[in-house]
Amino acid sequence: MAAPRFTDLLNAQIGNEFAAHNQYLACAVYYDGLTMPQLAGFFYGQALEERQHALMMVQYLLDTDAPVEIPGVDAPVSSFEDIVAPVQLALAQEKNVTEQINALLRTAREENDFASEQFMQWFIKEQVEEVATMNDLLAVVTRSKDDINAIEDWVAREQGGADTDPTAPPVAGQA
């Protein structure tokens, strides 16, 4: 069984992942309203990814016979001053999630909870990718904020559908 201190933090992280889902959904809707389907689609995809992360954590808790608590979340930011602001928010959010994931790994290590430490390794790798993606996107959106078509072209070209990662933890509800 996973260490109780770790499972308490992981239950809280489930809420953080669902909050990230909602925030990315709000970003997607914002870009959809601006008729920016590529950027909207990117953020809709990010929202689903965050939901999957939460459900991976749920499945891990179920697999380790630990209690699962689905916390409530605050409403996301849904109005933005310009097309750069949602991406700035997304980058800040990813950096915050990275700190949260690192704290989970650190806790598993302190508790000598080797299975939980191993479980968190995938999320460490994922956060490196997420921060890099948002850094790149912010550079493009900032540079091209007056040329929406250039942003849309870049997203279509560079953010194409990613392959499924066979090393990803299982997702609750998916056989």
Q: Does 162 score more than 70 pLDDT?
A: no
pLDDT, residue 166, reads: 82
162 class by beta-carbon count within 10 Å (0-12 exposed, 13-18 middle, 19+ buried): exposed
Q: Does 160 score more than 80 pLDDT?
A: no
Which whole number is the average pLDDT over 119-145? 97
| Tens-digit pLDDT profile for residues 65-87 | 999 999 999 999 999 999 999 99
Helix (H) or strand (E) holding 114: helix 114-143
